[in-house]
A and B are shown apart, each in its own frame.
Chain A
Amino acid sequence: MSLSKQEWLALEKKAHELRLLCLDTTSWAGSGHIGGGMSCMDLLTVLYHKYMRIRVEEPQWPDRDRFILSKGHAGIAYAPVLCDLGFNDPEMLKTFNLSGSKMGIHLDSNKVVGVDASTGSLGHGLPIAVGTALAARVLGKDYITYCLLGDGECDEGSNWEAAMAASHFKVTNLISFVDRNECMIDGKTEDVMKLEPFTDKWEAFGFIVKDIDGQNIKEICDAIDFALANKTDKPVMIILHTKKGAGIDFMEGNYVWHYGAINEEKYNQAKASLEKYYAARVARVEKEAQ
C-alpha cells in the first residue's frame, strides 16, 4: 500500500487531532502517562486509520485484525483513538481515571469496546499476541495481529519467552513494534537496565528487524508494508525510534514525563507546542511527498 501525499496529510491531520485529544484527556483526568502516549500516537493512527481491518459496528467481528497494546499504560493515547473511531462514546474520555469510570489507566478489554486484550502488567502483550496469531492459524483465518511493546518493558523476561515462541512457531501473521523512546519511570533505559544492542537481540531471537523513525508516518507505513509482504518464515519486529512526549517541547525526551500532571498553564503551553509540531510535520510532507 503506497502512501499518497493526500493520504499522508490526512494521517498527519488525524494524528494531530488524536494528540490533542490525548492532551485533553490528560487534562480532564488531571494527570496521565502522556509521555509514552504521545510517543506511540503516530503508530496508533497509522494502524487504525490505514491498515487494520475492523468494523466499528461489529467490534467482535471474528475476522478483524487485532491490536495488543502491551505497554498498557499508553491507554491515555489508545482510549482517544477508540473513542474517535466510535467504538466508545467520546464523552467517556472525560471520565478517564475518575472513580467509577469504565476507563482506568490501563484499559479493560471487557469494559472498553475495541480493546483486544487487558494489559497493564508489563511483559504480557507479546505472549498474548503470539497466541492470538497462532489461533488464526488453527482457525484458518487471515487476520493480522499487531503488538506494541514499550522499550523499558523489554526488561521483562516473558517478552523473550514469547520472542522465542514467535520465532519457533514461525508466527509471521504477527507484526510487532517496540516504542523505543529510551525512557522508563526511573530514568533512561540505558541507565536503568541496558537494552542495547537492542536490534541484535531481536535478530538473535529470530526476527527480521526494521529500525525506523517512529515519528515519521511514511516510514511507519513503509515498514508495515514490508512486514505484510514478508514471505520468509521469520516474524518482523519494527523498532520505532521515538521521543517520549513527542510534539510537546517541554516533555520531549524527558523521562520524568512518563507520568505527569497537567495544569491550565501547562495545557496551553502543550497545545501551542503541538500546533507548531503539526505545522512542521505538514511542511515535511509537502517537501518529501511524491
Chain B
Amino acid sequence: MAGALTYTAVDSTSLSTAEIYGQALVELGRAHPEVVALTADLAKSTKIGDFQKEFPDRFFNVGIAEQDMFGIAAGMARAGLVPFLSSFSVFTSLRAADQLHTDLCYQNVNAKVIATHSGTSFGQAGSTHHAICDFAVTRGIPNLTVICPADGYETYNAVMTAYQTPGPFYIRINRGFDRVLYKDTNYGFELGKAVTINEGTDLTIIATGSCVFQAFEAAKFLEVNDGLKVRVLDMHTIKPIDRDAILKAVMDTRRIITVEDHNIIGGLGSAVAEVVVESGKGCAFKKLGIPDQFAPIGLHEDIMSMLGIDSNGIINAVRDLMKMDFEEDDDWDDEA
C-alpha cells in the first residue's frame, strides 16, 4: 500500500494500537487539510493528542456528548471535511446509535468512526464499558463499512483505507496493546478481503480483531501436536464480509470455527453463518465468542481465557469439531 507505515516490530510493540491510530491520523492531517478530529472527552484515552497539538484548529473536543459529536461530524462532512470521531465503542455504537444510523449512514457522509476500547479490552471497567454488541448494531446499518483490525499494523491499513474510501466507516480497535500479528503493513491488506494467515485443509478458523493472533497460535500448536492443518483467516472486514473466502473454506475444509471478542449473536459468527446457510452447503460449524451474557470483569487476556476465545479455548473447540464426521463425496443431497 502506498505510503505504508514503516514501523518495525519493535515500534509496534512499543505503541498501543490506539497510539498507532493516533500517528496515522497525524499523517493524514499533514497530507490532507480537510481531515478533522473529534472526540467526546476522550482525546487522551483514544490517543489523538498528537493531532490536537499539531492541528488545534482542526480538533474538536465536544465534551461528554457523543450524540452531539456525531451530529457535528455529519454537518462537517457534508460541508466537505473528513471527520474522524474517536470514542469508546460502547458509546459510538449505542449511546450515539441513532446519530450513527441517521446522521452518518442514512446521509452516507464521509466520516470515520474510530471505536476504541472494543469488546472486553477495557475488561476491568465492567460491562458499562465493554462493547459486546457493536458488530450486531453496525452490521445492520446500510452504507456503513465495519472493520476490526487484528493489530496495530492492520489498524494503520484500516485507517488509511478508510480515508481513501468515501462513505462512513466504523473501525473497532482495542484498548492498550495488541499482540503483534504482522511484521509490517505490507501484507496485502484489501478492504473486504480476508487475509489467510495460515493455510490448511482440515478446518478453518475465521477470526477477527485480537482473536486472530490467538487463532494463529492455536493453529501452530495443533499442527505440531495434533498433526492438523488448520486454515486461519483474518476477517478484518466484518462488513462487507468476504463471501468468497467463507465459501472456499466450506468447500475446502468442511469445518469452520469463528472467533470474536463479541456476543455470539449478531457478530462475525452470525455473518459467516449467513453466508454458509445461503450457500446451501453444509459444514460443521461453531461460534466462539461471548455466549449471550454480560462478560466477566478482569484483564482482557483473562476474560478471553474465561470466554474460551484465547488459543487454549480455540484448540479445544478445534479438537471437538474434528470429531464430527463428514462425507468426502460431493453429494450434498443426502446430508441432513
Contact = CB atoms under 8 A, between A and B. Distances in A.
A205 to B, nearest CB: 13
Contacts of B76: 131-132, 134-135, 138
Contact of B102 (A62, A120, A136, A157): A120
Q: For the side of the interface on B, what is the size category?
A: 20 to 34
Interface string A154-187: 0001100110110011000000000000000000
B154 to A, nearest CB: 30
B75 A158 contact: no
B71 A126 contact: yes
Contact of B74 (A108, A128, A161): A128
Contacts of B74: 117, 127-128, 131
B336 interface: no
B67 A134 contact: no
Interface string B84-112: 00000000000000110011001110000
B57 interface: yes
Interface stretch (B58-66, B284-292, B317-325): B58-66
Place the interface of chain A in its size category: 35 or more
A128 B72 contact: yes
Given A132-B76, A164-B63, A121 B68 contact: no
B79 interface: yes
Highest count of chain A CB atoms <10 Å: which of B60, B63, B79, B108: B79
A130 interface: yes
Contacts of B60: 134, 169
B281 interface: no
Contact of A127 (B63, B72, B78, B79): B72
Interface in A264-289: none
A161 B107 CA distance: 21
A103 interface: no
A131 B102 contact: no
A99 B70 CA distance: 31
A259 B106 CA distance: 24
A119 B174 CA distance: 33
Contacts of B73: 131
Interface of A: 62, 66, 68, 108-110, 116-118, 120-121, 123-139, 145, 157-158, 161-162, 164-165, 168-169
Interface of B: 34, 36, 57-58, 60, 62-63, 65, 67-81, 83, 98-99, 102-103, 106-108
Given A131-B79, A134-B76, 4 more contacts: A131-B74, A138-B76, A158-B68, A161-B65
